[in-house]
Structure 1
Amino acid sequence: MTIAKRPLRLAMAAASFAACGAWAQDDADLQKKLANPIADIVTLPFQWTTNYNAGPFEKPQYTLNIQPVYPIKIGGGWSLINRAIVPLLSNPAVLPGQDRKNGLGDITYEAFFAPPAGEAGWIWGFGSATVLRTATDDRLGAGKWSLGPAVVGLKESGPWTVGALATQVWSVAGDDNQPNVSAFSFQPIVSYRLDSTQSLGYIGIVTADWEQKRSSQRWTVPLGVSYSLLVRPEGFVPMNFVVGAGYNVIRPDNASDWFVRFQVNFVLPK
């Protein structure tokens, strides 16, 4: 190697090293946003869950949730975060002689108003949750239109993101022959970043059906853990893969005990 070429090679190596450092920082920032349900990024997650031993005949129940998130800037640093959950269900029989029922469940739309992130990593938002009567069969939905408040709050500190998202909905219209709805959900947000592309977290949503008179049939409390990997395929959008499993430590009769989950999340350009 000539002396003239050495500075060029050194400059190229330094630029490559700096680029790798920038990518690592970008990945770490993106991981933070992926753990934040009201982050300013457009995402399209596909979440597959298998719930084992569901129903009176202890058969598996399958759910594919399509969960797009689209934020909109509305001025003053505030954002409107639009989140939807579109469930495709495969529910086992609940009576002798019944077949498994497959189809669309009730779609949920959540809208959060979120201010700019506060000091010390505090992030919060408030809004509403609306459950649409979209199920293609009575066994796949509640048969009601439901509405209620939604709140989210979390804190980012070092490799940790910790918080929760909670909703409460009540039925406001629908089939009079179906039971009324008064449903609470509490989604813990716990994420620990192992490095710029990997993290561990909690999976599961605590739910309560207030229409159940017996407390033993009211609550579902899962305990689960997940592993997340962020990748950037060449010529494609960033993708986040999540695998996990959990156990419902408190659950109603005939509810699933174990569950496993796989999710792929596409991070889309705005």
Structure 2
Amino acid sequence: MGNAMRIVRLCFQIAVIYSAGTSIAFADEDLQAKLANPVADLISVPFQWTTYNNAGSQETPRQTLNIQPVYPMNLGGGWSLINRAILPISSDPGHVPGQDRVTGLGDITYEGFFAPTPTKKGGLIWGFGPIFVMPTATDDRLGQGKWQAGPAFLALQETAKWTVGGLVTQVWSFAGDGQRKNVNYFSLQPIISYRINPKYSLGYIGTVTGDWTEHQSGERWTVPIGAALSVLTKPKNFVPLNFSAGVGYNAVKPSDAPDWYFRFQVTLIFPK
């Protein structure tokens, strides 16, 4: 995790520099709504730490730190391009007796959402674009060894207190290690967030996934049920931070998938 900690320290150092003489021009509740919206006009860097219990045949914990920078670009003509990357750093337990744990970088994902710029607060928000997965894993157990691509689509509805919607992706492998399994992978990330007050919000955490290469339906789907409490803070002489902590349970899962997962996330919010 040495490289991961260096990245984290660098991001916090940048946050200190950005915080000097700048401010976020959104009310706290509006800022919460933007954090729940993956295609919001907001620069952010979430650090998402997830621990999965009883993973693999040895039923030992697996940890993943996802670093997920988001950078929106105004394209003009009422459209924006929301660039989002996912850099996973994982610690994977042995899958057979005597196999050592490995820790390192996984496959990096890029998502680009073309979204119309909202003309008013609330209402229907949507976006679409490509998703690319690069075989950057430092160990075979941390990635799939395949170049992957596919479409992504997002739609959500905002009200005064709620954000409800979903983010759907589908990727197929098209190149990479010929000895590795082909990829045909679906995911649905439900977006459900309730703003309790300007500081606190409650939301769903988890992603429904489907591996179409699995012929047995019992091994194909993962359907989690999870919730997290978020707290928005604005430290003096620093960028705003959003802290989130929650727990989830995989109600439907493959035989070697973990039952429970615990998640902690801190999001740095930068002025644009």
What TM-score results when the alignment is normalised by the length of structure 1? 0.90
| Residue ranges of structure 1 left out of the alignment (5+ in a row) | 1-22
3-state DSSP class of the match of 1:196? coil
Aligned residue among 207, 210, 224 for 1:205 = 207
Aligned to 2:114: 113
3-state DSSP class of the match of 1:65? strand
Distance 2:111 2:178 in 1: 25
Q: CA deviation at 1:268?
A: 1.0
3-state DSSP class of the match of 1:169? strand
Counterparts of 1:40-51 in structure 2 under 5 Å?
40-51=41-52
Distance 2:176 2:111 in 1: 19
3-state DSSP class of the match of 1:256? coil
Q: CA deviation at 1:117?
A: 2.3
The amino acid that maps onto 1:205 is T
Aligned to 1:237: 239
Aligned to 2:266: 264
8 Å CA contact retained: 1:24, 1:196: no
Aligned to 1:29: 30
Distance 2:119 2:234 in 1: 30
List per-residue Cα deviations over 1:45-89 (Å, max 9, x = no partner).
100000000000100000000000000000012100000100000
Counterparts of 1:41-120 in structure 2 under 5 Å?
41-117=42-118
Residues 113 and 24 (structure 1 numbering): CA distance in 2 closer, same or farther, change over 3 Å? closer
| Residue ranges of structure 2 left out of the alignment (5+ in a row) | 1-23
Aligned to 2:251: 249
Residues 24 and 66 (structure 1 numbering): CA distance in 2 closer, same or farther, change over 3 Å? closer
3-state DSSP class of the match of 2:34? helix
1:145 aligns with 2:140: no
Q: CA deviation at 1:263?
A: 0.2
Q: CA deviation at 1:157?
A: 1.0
Aligned residue among 105, 125, 148 for 2:127 = 125
The amino acid that maps onto 1:64 is L
Aligned to 1:218: 220
Aligned to 2:19: none
Distance 1:172 1:259 in 2: 31
Q: CA deviation at 1:208?
A: 0.5
Distance 1:103 1:238 in 2: 29
Q: CA deviation at 1:116?
A: 2.0
Distance 1:199 1:25 in 2: 16
The amino acid that maps onto 2:34 is K
The amino acid that maps onto 1:60 is P
Flag as ranges the 4+ runs of structure 1 deviating above 4 A: none
**Number of matched residues?**
248
List per-residue Cα deviations over 1:86-106 (Å, max 9, x = no partner).
000001111221100110000
Aligned to 1:165: 167
3-state DSSP class of the match of 1:204? coil
List per-residue Cα deviations over 1:101-122 (Å, max 9, x = no partner).
1100000000000002267611
User: What's the RMSD between the two structures over aligned residues?
Assistant: 1.3
Aligned to 1:178: 180
* Identical aligned residues as a percent: 60
The amino acid that maps onto 2:231 is L
Distance 1:54 1:25 in 2: 41
Distance 1:24 1:107 in 2: 32
Residues 194 and 142 (structure 1 numbering): CA distance in 2 closer, same or farther, change over 3 Å? same
8 Å CA contact retained: 1:93, 1:100: yes
Distance 2:26 2:64 in 1: 34
Aligned to 2:20: none
